[in-house]
């Protein structure tokens, strides 16, 4: 096994372990009905996100921007600079997501309360949405539903790039709506 594969496996195992601990802690926590949802992008290490807000709850309109990554070039990010990914198990241009349950806990769908907005070099013509089974609206780009990744703990991290998880591979997207060259 290559060192890159070993690193990806270790990151996936660590992320799954953190997810399991979070689920156990949530089950043992208080019964408060407060929400940590707020406007913004993806969930990373407990930061706030629009991804968990129920439809119509006042979640913010999602923004898709472009950032320059030293290894991958120009990639899509949310309004906080968190990397956005696509899942190869999803059908490009489809009307549903193949990621729910535990998958959506580790790879939170990037959701919106209205029409998503493009900034910088992101193309508004490639933005769209799909309805998820829970009633939320997920942002798409070039027909691919977008997700964040729990193991990315800071803006700009791409630890989910080229990881096989939940039956298929995950990749960042370029402003053209494809995976980076060489992937």
Contact (CB, 8 A) for 167 and 89: yes
Count Cα neighbours of 74 within 13 Å in the Cβ-side half-sphere.
Answer: 12
What ranges do the domains of the chain cover? Answer: 3-172
> What pTM does this model have?
0.71
Q: Check residue 55 and give its pLDDT.
A: 36
- Non-local CB neighbours of 20 within 8 Å, separated by 6+ positions: none
Residue with tokens 């290559």: 2
Contact (CB, 8 A) for 51 and 148: yes
**Residues of the chain where predicted confidence (pLDDT) is lower than 50:** 17-58
Measured on CA atoms in the order 165, 158, 73, 143, is the torsion positive or negative? Answer: positive
Sheet containing 63-69, strands listed edge to edge, beginning at the edge strand earlier in sequence: 73-77, 63-69, 117-118
Kindly report, residue by residue over 55-103, the tens digit of the pLDDT.
Answer: 333 468 999 999 999 999 999 999 999 999 999 999 999 999 999 999 9
């Amino acid at each position: 096994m290559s060192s890159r594969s070993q690193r990806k496996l270790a990151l996936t195992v660590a992320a799954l372990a953190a997810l399991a601990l979070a689920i156990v802690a949530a089950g043992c926590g208080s019964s408060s009905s407060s929400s940590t949802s707020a406007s913004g992008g993806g969930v990373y290490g407990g930061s706030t996100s629009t991804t968990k807000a129920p439809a119509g709850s006042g979640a913010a309109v999602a923004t898709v921007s472009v950032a320059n990554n030293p290894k991958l070039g120009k990639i899509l990010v949310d309004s906080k600079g968190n990397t956005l990914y696509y899942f190869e198990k999803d059908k490009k241009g489809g009307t549903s997501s193949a990621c729910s349950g535990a998958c959506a806990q580790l790879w939170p769908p990037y959701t919106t309360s209205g029409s998503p907005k493009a900034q910088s070099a992101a193309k508004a013509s490639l933005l769209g949405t799909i309805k998820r089974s829970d009633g939320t609206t997920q942002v798409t780009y070039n027909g691919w539903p977008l997700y964040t990744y729990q193991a990315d703990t800071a803006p700009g991290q791409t630890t989910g790039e080229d990881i096989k998880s939940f039956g298929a591979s995950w990749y960042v997207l370029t402003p053209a709506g494809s995976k980076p060259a060489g992937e």
